[in-house]
């Protein structure tokens, strides 16, 4: 006799159980929607708070600078070279020129190093060496500015003084050149890190297509990779400029801090951040000193904000260019 086969028992789902499962699914979906809404509202609230905080800082500094702006015209404040706080003369022109000069000098020194380093690490270096180098670059970017300033005082200032003696220029070493070199060393890790990320964003098929057509490695980098990443590299440069423009402690320690318009690389200069850091303790004894320093701070914030917005716009164009 053949053994009887047991038919699998059918588990019938009642209408009541089906309704319970459906309600449980709806409850889970509702909980997920509530969590998503809470996360979205929280993130949006934090973003609004950060933007409001930046606007509040702008308004606060502008409010503190109003007393001097009501007494001195803006062109006179920006383009006057007379800085005599005891006589209520607050010309910011030497400090603006000093800031621009030391920042531009730092960018001129650092940009070739940054671009060549980024290209090598991104396109030529092996992966293991690239990772080790990126770790070292991150460490350099995290070193406090006062440490760079101390290294500048111990190494760069004597070197600049020796260079001045070689070419017959009398200098103490505390000069525009010393400030530019120290500032260049500080911004190099920052620009290199961003530039590497931008270059790695260029898809690999672009490189493979160029190499398949007979282009050399350098021709591929020059005509394909750099062209696609141009907006991002400009953004990295602009962000580096903004970073250098507002640097205080390291530049303050090596630039000389003399209120004059520098005429050579070996002359002392006085950037705006150093002016604020050195003199803010005297604002209680001299009328309008507080407002003059706040106007300098407002100029710094305005320039840094404009350059940051420009860099942000350039970074937005990177994705469109690569796509």
Decide if pLDDT at 116 tops 90. Answer: yes
Write phi, then psi, for 83 (nearest 5 degrees). -120, 95
Please answer whether residues 271 and 99 qualify as being in contact, where contact means their C-beta atoms are separated by less than 8 angstroms. Answer: yes
Please answer whether residues 241 and 303 qualify as being in contact, where contact means their C-beta atoms are separated by less than 8 angstroms. Answer: no
Mean residue pLDDT across the chain: 84
What is the chain's Cα-based Rg? 30
| CATH fold of 93-322 | MetI-like fold (1.10.3720)
The predicted pLDDT at position 4 comes to 53
pLDDT in tens, 199-236: 988 888 888 888 888 888 888 998 889 888 888 888 88
pLDDT in tens, 128-144: 998 899 899 989 888 88
Residues 6+ apart with CB under 8 A from 311: 234, 235, 236, 238, 239, 242
Measured CA to CA, the distance from residue 235 to residue 311 in angstroms comes to 4
pLDDT in tens, 79-99: 888 888 778 788 889 999 999
Decide if pLDDT at 21 tops 80. Answer: no
Decide if pLDDT at 182 tops 90. Answer: yes
Is pTM beyond 0.85? Reply is: no
Please answer whether residues 69 and 295 qualify as being in contact, where contact means their C-beta atoms are separated by less than 8 angstroms. Answer: yes
Measured CA to CA, the distance from residue 254 to residue 273 in angstroms comes to 13
Measured CA to CA, the distance from residue 132 to residue 90 in angstroms comes to 49
Measured CA to CA, the distance from residue 13 to residue 314 in angstroms comes to 60
């Amino acid at each position: 006799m053949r053994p009887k086969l047991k038919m699998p028992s059918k588990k019938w789902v009642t209408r009541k159980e089906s309704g319970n499962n459906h309600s449980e699914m709806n409850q889970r979906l509702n909980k997920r929607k509530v969590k998503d809404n809470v996360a979205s509202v929280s993130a949006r609230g934090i973003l609004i708070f950060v933007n409001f905080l930046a606007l509040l800082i702008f308004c606060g500094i502008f409010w503190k600078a109003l007393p001097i702006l009501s007494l001195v015209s803006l062109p006179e404040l920006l383009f006057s070279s007379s800085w005599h706080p005891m006589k209520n003369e607050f010309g910011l022109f030497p400090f603006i020129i000093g800031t621009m000069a030391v920042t531009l000098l730092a960018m001129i020194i650092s940009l070739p190093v940054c671009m060549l380093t980024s290209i090598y690490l991104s396109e030529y270096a092996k992966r293991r060496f690239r990772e080790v180098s990126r770790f070292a670059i991150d460490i350099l970017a995290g070193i406090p500015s006062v440490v760079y300033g101390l290294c500048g005082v111990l190494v760069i200032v004597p070197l600049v003084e020796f260079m001045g003696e070689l070419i017959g220029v009398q200098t103490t070493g505390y000069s525009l050149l010393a400030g530019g070199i120290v500032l260049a060393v500080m911004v190099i890790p920052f620009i290199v890190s961003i530039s590497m990320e931008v270059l790695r964003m260029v898809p690999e098929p672009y490189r493979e297509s160029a190499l398949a057509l007979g282009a050399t490695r350098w021709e591929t980098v020059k005509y394909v990779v750099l062209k696609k990443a141009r907006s991002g590299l400009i953004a990295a440069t602009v962000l580096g400029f903004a970073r250098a423009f507002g640097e205080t402690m390291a530049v303050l320690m090596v630039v000389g801090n003399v209120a004059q318009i520098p005429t050579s690389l070996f002359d002392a200069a006085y950037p705006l951040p150093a002016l604020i850091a050195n003199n803010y303790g005297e604002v209680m004894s001299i009328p309008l000193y507080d407002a003059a320093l706040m106007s300098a701070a407002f100029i710094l914030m305005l320039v840094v904000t404009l350059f940051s917005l420009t860099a942000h716009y350039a970074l937005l164009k990177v994705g469109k260019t690569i796509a």
